[in-house]
Amino acid sequence: MNVPILDLGRTRRRIASQLDERWRKILDDSSFVLGPEVREFETAFASYLGVAACVALGNGTDALILALRALGLKPGDEVIVPAFSFFATAEAVVLLGGKVVFADVDPETLNLDPADAAARVTARTVGILGVHLYGRPFDVDGILALCRKHGLWLVEDAAQAHGARWQGTRVGGFGQLAAWSFYPTKNLGCFGDGGAATGNDRELVERVRSLGNHGQTSRYHHVAVGTNSRLDSLQAAVLNCRLPLLDADNARRGEIACRYHGALAGVGDLRLLPDRPGVQSVYHQLTVRTARRDELMAHLKAAGIASAIHYPSPLHHQPALAGLVEVRDGDLPIATAAGREVLCLPVFPELTNEELEAVGAAVRSFFGA
């Protein structure tokens, strides 16, 4: 049996007729940029999250950069960033001239460790960029307490956490701003690039909107030097089709995760990330850890089962950041170990139970279980 890590063809077939209708209307009306589909999505996504405002943008990286610009990040300002994440999390800070200060991650969740972050605050620290990694909310209470203590802002990198909840509340409104990606592989993805920023400060969200539309507040009236980052209507239509399905899709991901945990608990040296009380993950990735990661990946491939490594290198080991980030030898040990051990197994709503069982059987056979 061949089991993919993701099959977007199955996703497309579920929404095909509705999407074709929406796309035909866009083509007929020539409403390609900032059209009704975009406005519909911004309203619906803000309502879904329970936040005051949403602005749709060109991609998730732009969402991070524009959020930091809206908050006034200046060259030399320090921002605390988890050392284990996708590169864009640190990249956004560097592109604006900010100084990335890496903090280590929790050994169980691989999310930002509030205690380690607290030890890295200096007089130059202005904010924290927290990542809800793999669809699991970071310790929101711990990070918010740290921000309040030192007068820092918080930006949530929610690119992998569409619908995730912390203590019953969906992420995306805890910080001053949250940045979202709708890359096709996301729980809520379009069929190209897409992103958004959300928050409860309408004025701040509108500042992001202006910066993403050439700094305009009205047509041809530019109050800042901005950029061009706008979600196009065709991609907004995909999101409008998929948003009503998101909760059911996330529930199916949770069911798959539960089955994996049942099938793989106690197998070899394999470790699964635990579900902590008060945290509702949306399982963007089903991540396991083992010292034999590369061997396991090769074994699965030979059995026709796809897997992926998110991420093979912690951010402080990336060559692009050499000389830009100060890291001591032996620092950030949890993030460093994660890069050697993590492996992501297939988890997507259309995955069948038969496919899931084949993955579990292949993993168990590798460990002789």
Q: Give the pLDDT confidence of 206-237 residue by residue, as tens digits.
A: 999 999 999 999 999 999 999 999 999 999 99
Report the pLDDT value the prediction gives residue 351, as an integer from 0 to 100.
98
Report the pLDDT value the prediction gives residue 347, as an integer from 0 to 100.
98
Report the pLDDT value the prediction gives residue 50, as an integer from 0 to 100.
98
Report the pLDDT value the prediction gives residue 272, as an integer from 0 to 100.
96
Report the pLDDT value the prediction gives residue 51, as an integer from 0 to 100.
98
Report the pLDDT value the prediction gives residue 1, as an integer from 0 to 100.
84
Mean pLDDT of all residues in 103-122? 98
Residue whose token pair is 């063809």: 9
Do the Cβ atoms of 201 and 2 come closer than 8 Å? Answer: no
| Integer Cα distance of 186 and 264 in angstroms | 25
Report the pLDDT value the prediction gives residue 261, as an integer from 0 to 100.
97
Query: What's the order of all strands across the beta sheet hosting 78-82?
Result: 53-57, 195-199, 177-181, 153-157, 125-131, 78-82, 99-103
The yes-or-no verdict on residue 293 having pLDDT over 90 is yes
Mean pLDDT of all residues in 19-25? 98
Do the Cβ atoms of 171 and 156 come closer than 8 Å? Answer: yes
Report the pLDDT value the prediction gives residue 3, as an integer from 0 to 100.
98
Pick the CATH number of 246-366 from 3.40.50.300, 3.90.1150.10, 3.30.450.20, 3.90.580.10: 3.90.1150.10
| Integer Cα distance of 168 and 279 in angstroms | 8
User: Quick one: which of 135, 67, 82, 137 has its CA closest to 113?
Assistant: 82
Mean pLDDT of all residues in 95-124? 98
The yes-or-no verdict on residue 369 having pLDDT over 80 is no
Mean pLDDT of all residues in 158-168? 98
User: Quick one: which of 286, 287, 275 has its CA closest to 341?
Assistant: 287
Do the Cβ atoms of 167 and 278 come closer than 8 Å? Answer: yes
Asked if the bond preceding 134 is cis, omega within 30° of 0, the reply is no
Report the pLDDT value the prediction gives residue 328, as an integer from 0 to 100.
82
Listed by start position, the domains of the chain span 8-244, 246-366
300: confidence class by pLDDT, cuts 50, 70, 90:
very high
Q: Which amino acid, one-letter code, is at 161?
A: A
- Residue bearing the bigger pLDDT, 275 or 67: 67
Mean pLDDT of all residues in 105-127? 98
Q: What percentage of residues in the chain have a pLDDT greater than 90?
A: 97
Mean pLDDT of all residues in 307-314? 98
User: Quick one: which of 41, 49, 53 has its CA closest to 239?
Assistant: 41
Report the pLDDT value the prediction gives residue 102, as an integer from 0 to 100.
98
Q: What percentage of residues in the chain have a pLDDT greater than 70?
A: 100
- Return phi, psi of residue 200, to 5°: -105, -5
pLDDT, mean over the chain: 97
The pLDDT tens digits for 50-108 are 999 999 999 999 999 999 999 999 999 999 999 999 999 999 999 999 999 999 999 99
326: confidence class by pLDDT, cuts 50, 70, 90:
confident
Specify which residues 127 forms β-bridges with.
Answer: 79, 153
**8-244, CATH topology level:** Aspartate Aminotransferase; domain 2 (3.40.640)
Longest dimension (CA), the chain: 67
Sign of CA pseudo-dihedral 22, 24, 27, 28: negative
The yes-or-no verdict on residue 329 having pLDDT over 80 is no
